[in-house]
Structure 1
Amino acid sequence: MRIEILKSAKEAIGKEFKGKNVVVIDVLRATTVMVTALQNGAKCIYPFKEIEDAKRGQSLTQNGLLAGERKGLKIEGFDFGNSPLEFTKDKVEGKEIYMTTSNGTRAIENALSADGLYIACYLNISVISKKLLEEKKDVIILCAGTDDEFSLDDSLCAGIIAKKIGEKSEIEINDFTLSLKRLAEYAPGVKQVLEGSKHYSYLKKIGYEEDLEYCVKMDISEIVPFYINGKIKTSS
């Protein structure tokens, strides 16, 4: 199995995904929100690059909620921002969510040609790794990054997935993927590695310290979100 890690949403443009599984990671915080919302009973999530497209989609439904951010902050008039702690069971159960974020939903739209398109974060990292192993296809792990640049939070998560798969199967990887796998192997802990990194520090500065504590939790969810027919859902 070949595993390749891409460092940002921009790197997916023009990339060939046919015949491969793609895993999108935006730990801080879009994919963590998606996993949390679906875990708490949301019916599905519709991802959009643009704010107006999300609004237009939500306007066509009686049961839709708007969620999203720009520069980490809630979009004016939206029901939710991009804090996973907002997406509680009482607010999202049975609801459709129309979502747009700076990096994560853009990464998803850039990878729609994949055979399978999965959503990962630290919360569901082991079950995602297991799913990829079962499917036995080549894998591209697409880190959303931050404003088209490398982001340590996403890349460490990607490295851990490569590490977990490599423990169970022979894998072929390039040097960039190897470097992140090695980081995962020798990391003292997720929070310790991310402290001081750019996006982690930014979210801390604007008041989302509780989000950061939650987003680095490992394996508290067993769901495998996937993209199909314009929406993200689970098999349950």
Structure 2
Amino acid sequence: MPSTGASAAAPSRRASRPRAWRTTTWPPTGSPGRVAASRVWWAEQKAEGGRLNDIIEVDDRLYVLAGSSLADDRTRVLKQDETFAVHDRFGDFRRLGMGEQGLYHAGTRHLSRLELSVGGVRPLLLNSSVSEDNRELLVDLTLPDLDVGGWHMPSHSLHVLRRKLLWDGTLYEAIRLYNYGERTLDLKLELAFEADFADIFEVRGLERPRRGEPLPAQCGGREVRLGYRGLDGVERTTRLRFSRDPVALEADRARFRMRVSPGQCVYL
């Protein structure tokens, strides 16, 4: 799994992630300075009807309203304290539509893109659902017909389960591959990612005359760090950490070789 971190004063309850979870996380580390005064804010959504943003801040805490357009049948929203994540139904963060998808902490988007591909294609969606407490997302996926190593792999031979948990300022993800076919599958799994470090007002359409500067990405072993220095001088960081060694690790993607025998489960 991957892990994301954001640089800002993240909530510190010293809670550890559930032991049953395998590791692919996203924890925000660091937060822009907190505003002392109590406040409530919203921004107008530049969509039809001019509805309110549906993300409000009360006493420096962010909330997604229950009737929010962010939580319609096209999105899957997880939230806990100052951290929330807006996914599409596939469990990805994509730069589509209103461009609101991503992982947010303390008013800043720490991950603006996260897209999964298996065997060089985007999996097909079977089902996805969010738990009642809005902390866990389950996504069932499968693959279409593919040519794998010179032979034809029928559709639905591979089941892909994505399980995401938002816990203590960190987004954990477990990816499970199950082979229903009769032949061993040797597939490339790729996670593409980006962090734009936009604040919530920018995401909702407010133009800023100036922005801070992105910092060079740091890649090594099983970890990538993406950084940004704001106009306030504060450095914000997103850390992505994986539970197994990638065959290739770059500033915007990680690639893994997944070998799955018939009837076998393999995890990332």
Rg larger for:
2
Instruction: Choose between structure 1 and 2: higher strand proportion.
Output: 2
Instruction: Choose between structure 1 and 2: higher helix proportion.
Output: 1
TM-score for the superposition, normalised by structure 1 = 0.25
Higher relative contact order (CA 8 A, sep 6+): 1
TM-score for the superposition, normalised by structure 2 = 0.23
